[in-house]
C-alpha cells in the first residue's frame, strides 16, 4: 500500500470542513518552505484535498448555500494559484484561479 492510499483513507474519515482545513495547512507549509520541490508536493497535496472538498460539496445539497464554505474553497484555490504561479506552474495556476472564480 502506497503513501497516497494511506493518506486517502484518512482523508475519507474527515469532514468537508476538516479537509478544507487540511488543504489550507498544506498551502501554509508550501508558503513557508524554502524548498521548491517540497512546495510543489505540498501544493499537489492541497489540490488533492480541495478536489475531495469539491466532490463532497457537489453531491451534498446541504453545502450549496453554505457561503462560508464556498468562500473558504475559493480563497484556498486562489492561494494555490498564487503558489503555483510562484513555482512556475503556469497552466495549473490558471486552472486554480478559474476554479477560485467559480467558487467565489
Q: Residue 23 is placed in which grid cell?
A: 488543504
- The alpha carbon of 99 is separated from its chain's Cα centroid by a whole number of angstroms, namely 11
Q: Residue 82 is placed in which grid cell?
A: 498564487
Q: Quick one: what percent of the chain has pLDDT higher than 90?
A: 65
Q: Is 65's pLDDT higher than 90?
A: no
pLDDT of residue 104: 83
- The alpha carbon of 19 is separated from its chain's Cα centroid by a whole number of angstroms, namely 8
pTM for the full predicted model: 0.85
pLDDT of residue 37: 96
Amino acid at each position: 500500500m502506497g503513501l497516497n492510499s494511506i493518506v486517502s483513507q484518512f482523508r475519507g474519515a474527515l469532514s468537508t470542513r476538516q479537509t478544507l482545513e487540511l488543504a489550507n495547512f498544506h498551502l501554509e507549509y508550501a508558503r513557508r518552505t524554502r524548498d521548491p520541490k517540497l512546495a510543489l508536493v505540498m501544493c499537489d497535496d492541497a489540490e488533492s484535498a480541495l478536489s475531495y472538498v469539491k466532490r463532497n460539496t457537489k453531491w451534498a445539497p446541504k453545502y450549496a448555500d453554505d457561503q462560508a464554505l464556498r468562500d473558504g474553497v475559493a480563497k484556498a484555490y486562489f492561494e494555490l494559484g498564487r503558489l503555483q504561479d510562484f513555482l512556475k506552474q503556469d497552466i495549473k495556476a490558471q486552472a486554480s484561479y478559474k476554479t477560485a472564480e467559480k467558487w467565489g
